[in-house]
Each structure stands twice: as structure tokens, then as C-alpha cells.
Amino acid sequence: MKQTLILLFVASVFTACNDGIDTDDYGIFSSQDDETVIIEGLIDSDIPDYWDNYITAYPNTNRMIMGDCPGSVDDEANWAAAKMIRDHGLTIHLPSEAIIASGAVDLYLSGTSRTRDVGSQIGVHAWSDGAGNEATDYPVGHEEHEGAINYYVDMGFSQEDAESFYYFTINAASADDIHWMSDEEIEEYKLLK
């Protein structure tokens, strides 16, 4: 009986520890002050939980500063968190040392206002499904492109601007490469707001 109770206790502790994200776990988010959040690192599948934990702890947050954010490993989770950030009305800024790429660019676009300092870098490329198919393997207008285009529309882009930026990104570099956008491209594709 004693061994059974010990096993049940250990099993319940193990389950509780692995039942989700700790409510004070902010992942790649950290606080600069009560109104400013800093994001730094690779965006993973837990980002919606991290953001929910963070904004619960710091409800007055109205500004995000992005640092070194190389991308995301889960577009759906990234877009879900970005929509939450958008709904909270954050402005997002890239300081001169910021380097954002791939899915981190999508997160940047969630800002209701988006600014950047000279020297910050924004990198884009085609997506890959992990099974050998890249975005450019599908023709313009294919349903595989709809998720990203619809996301850009949700972030305030017109349909035309969303399609223009999306097709630019997937043709700018292959999935295993990166294209660092010029100041002119950043302006042309309306990344600042």
C-alpha cells in the first residue's frame, strides 16, 4: 500500500509538472518596465502560452522591443500569439541592433505601430513544409499561400499589399537562405507604420 501511494504521488507530481507552461514562465519575453516587453530568441510552439502569462503579469504593456529573433518553428502558434499581441494594441520597435527573420518578421507585423532604427535588419525567405516542398513549388493563387496572406490582411494590410509582400518574401530567397531587406524594400512593402 505504501509503495502504491508513493507511486501515485510521484505520478501526480510528474503530471502536474508537465501539464503545461508554468504561469510565471515568459519564455522569450522579458520586462524592461511595466509598459515595455522585450522579445529575444527563437519563437516556438509555446509562444501563445508565454504571451498569455506575460500579459497577465504585466497588463499595462503597450510597447514591444525586438532583439535577436531568428524566426519561428511553428507558424500557427506564432500567428496565434501575434494576433493576441495585435489585439492588445502594442507598438513594436526594432532598435539598431535588432535582427529579425522569417516568422519573427510576421510577429513584427502584429504591431499597431511599427518603427525601426537605422541598422536593424529584417530577413525574409520562402517557407518549407519539411517534406521537401517550398512555397515557390505552388503556383500563385494556390490554397497553400492563403494562410500567410490572410494573416497579413488580419494585421492590417490590404489584400493587394498582403499578396505583394507575401510573394516578394517567398521569391526573395529559398527556405534554406535569407534575404535581408533594403530600406527601399521595407518602405515599398509597407512594413513600417
Instruction: Give tens-digit pLDDT for 111-128.
Output: 999 999 999 999 999 999
Q: Are 34 and 61 in contact (CB under 8 A)?
A: yes
* Domain segments of the chain as ranges: 22-188
> What pLDDT sits at residue 130?
81
Q: For the whole model, what pTM was predicted?
A: 0.87
> What pLDDT sits at residue 33?
95
Q: What is the distance in angstroms between the CA of the first residue and the CA of the last residue of the chain? A: 66
> What pLDDT sits at residue 131?
86
What cell does 119 get?
541598422
* Residue 128, phi-psi category: left (phi > 0), alpha (psi -120 to 50), beta (remainder): beta
The radius of gyration computed from the CA coordinates of the chain, to the nearest angstrom, equals 19
> What pLDDT sits at residue 132?
87
CA separation for the pair 78, 107 (Å, rounded): 7
Mean pLDDT by 10 residues, the chain (193 residues): 35 39 80 97 97 97 98 95 97 98 98 98 94 93 96 97 98 96 98 95
> What pLDDT sits at residue 9?
34
> What pLDDT sits at residue 2?
38
| CATH for the stretch 22-188 | 3.90.226.10
> What pLDDT sits at residue 23?
59
> What pLDDT sits at residue 54?
97
